[in-house]
Structure 1
């Protein structure tokens, strides 16, 4: 196991028990069986480690949910698949979910808040694209932003039930129930509150679209960390495609699919899907 990954996994165990503030670098290094020097070779500070953990889990979560929304075989099943995958991921990473929810309510670390807000905005965009796909424009035009916030509210409320109150989680029943509730709101609401202007008020410079230059920098970083493989070859071809467009769209989509589940290239695959609107 790579030392950086070991530190993140062991630190998560301590954070789950004690919280971020109560856990020291000394405790983390003792729990890992490494020196402080070894820790600081991987992370400049405990705050950097915390942000790396947020990135690690939120990248997996964001990319997987976005992929489902963009690639589900039938719109009829889209909402169900969305809720099922989302709560399944919460269940799988419940320790991290508990830490994140607890720390958001008491942290004053601006970098932490901005990082969480960044991923929250990405999820909003994914949910909005799903809502626009599911319902006819004349049905949803005036209330679609309210529907997005209702879906986010369902996610927050129901995740608390099984993260903190140990309510038995039947993913199938929960997903069916939330599909019914969402459809009722989307098809019967007549008094909108949240508008596009409200959404824009919440935006932050970090929410700006990622540029081609930034994607190329991310790809180059991934290539340095990846061993020789089909995924690395695919990423090299995608880098070349960004520099000089020559490949058919279907080939580009196939190359992005090749790298989707590689741990080093997961975020690049997400950014490329967004960039190419796939």
Structure 2
């Protein structure tokens, strides 16, 4: 379980989220009171309600916090430029499995709570905005990077099949029927995906969910919620645009890559320095052909800095 941090190392709101996560995991959301959460945080119940108006709002925030934390870890793998695309996918699947195992008690408590209340699941509209669309775009691009452009029409089918396989094996983790090595499970899932993808490319059959159905939804949600794109993904897009540009002089290209590297490094600092970030973004705004992406990056960094303050 994620360790409870002291007020000296994290802000009060994140402190509350982690305390609630611990109590929800051990007692279940229904059996946990706001008073207990306040006591674990060392604050008054009134102070707790200043941050969260109800236990339901706090519960939704904890789920979003878990999702965002996992999303950040997956984004970090994208930064590892020495890893081939297939190895990145395997590592990202392994991260999902590791975090599910780490948060197993919390997710079980969530499912039991939803079953008792008659809920069908965590509403999609309450997921961090645009995250599903960005995840779908990332997965589609990853499939193309691994298997080639011929696989693009089958991206949704492959995503659903991978999700189904992961769900089946995760049940073994939840029920503790078997002791499973997560690294080997991730590798096995990618090996199975290899077989499915190669068969679809070879047979050239119609995808079950055509690209014409899912691609407009992805593009619409990306346009609507661009502010939720992860900074590391945007930096990757800018790097690609810089590499692809034939107009940039080599010196400017190198300087641009240096600015992007400094931004990446700063993002991983415990307290990113706003002055450094703004300085690098100012440098990037002078580079022709990437201004729109840089402006988007500026907005996203503002959001992430506020989230991490």
The alpha-carbon deviation at position 40 of structure 1 amounts to 1.4
- Contact kept in structure 1, 2:38 and 2:44, CA below 8 Å: yes
Choose 179-188 or 157-166, whichever is displaced more: 157-166
Task: Identify which of 58, 67, 73 aligns with 1:64.
Answer: 73
Q: Following the alignment from structure 1 to structure 2, what is the Cα–Cα distance between the partners of residues 173 and 159?
A: 13
Q: Following the alignment from structure 2 to structure 1, what is the Cα–Cα distance between the partners of residues 306 and 105?
A: 22
Task: Identify which of 51, 60, 68 aligns with 2:60.
Answer: 51
Task: Identify which of 277, 285, 292 aligns with 1:245.
Answer: 285
- Contact kept in structure 2, 1:60 and 1:266, CA below 8 Å: no
Alignment RMSD, CA only? 4.2
Indicate the residue corresponding to 1:92 in structure 2: 102
State the Cα deviation string for residues 150-193 of structure 1 (Å, max 9, x = none): 12222322223213436323122112211111111111134421
Is the counterpart of residue 173 in structure 1 residue 184 in structure 2? yes
Q: Following the alignment from structure 2 to structure 1, what is the Cα–Cα distance between the partners of residues 191 and 95?
A: 17
Indicate the residue corresponding to 1:122 in structure 2: 134
Q: Following the alignment from structure 1 to structure 2, what is the Cα–Cα distance between the partners of residues 120 and 212?
A: 13
- Contact kept in structure 2, 1:87 and 1:171, CA below 8 Å: yes
- Contact kept in structure 2, 1:59 and 1:267, CA below 8 Å: no
Q: 1:184 to 1:59 in 2, by over 3 A?
A: same
Within 5 Å, give how 1:1-278 maps onto structure 2.
Answer: 1-2=6-7, 3-69=12-78, 71-72=80-81, 73-102=83-112, 108=119, 112-116=123-127, 118=129, 119-138=131-150, 140-165=151-176, 167-189=178-200, 190=203, 191=205, 192-199=207-214, 208-211=223-226, 231-237=273-279, 240=282, 245-246=285-286, 265=305
Structure 1, unmatched stretches of 5+, are 217-226, 269-278
- Contact kept in structure 1, 2:143 and 2:152, CA below 8 Å: no
**Between Structure 1 and Structure 2, how many residues are aligned?**
246
**TM, length-normalised to structure 2:** 0.63
- Contact kept in structure 1, 2:34 and 2:45, CA below 8 Å: yes
Q: 1:52 to 1:158 in 2, by over 3 A?
A: same
Computing the radius of gyration over CA atoms, which structure comes out larger, 1 or 2? 2
The alpha-carbon deviation at position 134 of structure 1 amounts to 0.9
Q: Following the alignment from structure 1 to structure 2, what is the Cα–Cα distance between the partners of residues 165 and 228?
A: 36
State the Cα deviation string for residues 120-152 of structure 1 (Å, max 9, x = none): 4433332222112111223x1432221111122
- Contact kept in structure 2, 1:121 and 1:207, CA below 8 Å: yes
**TM, length-normalised to structure 1:** 0.69
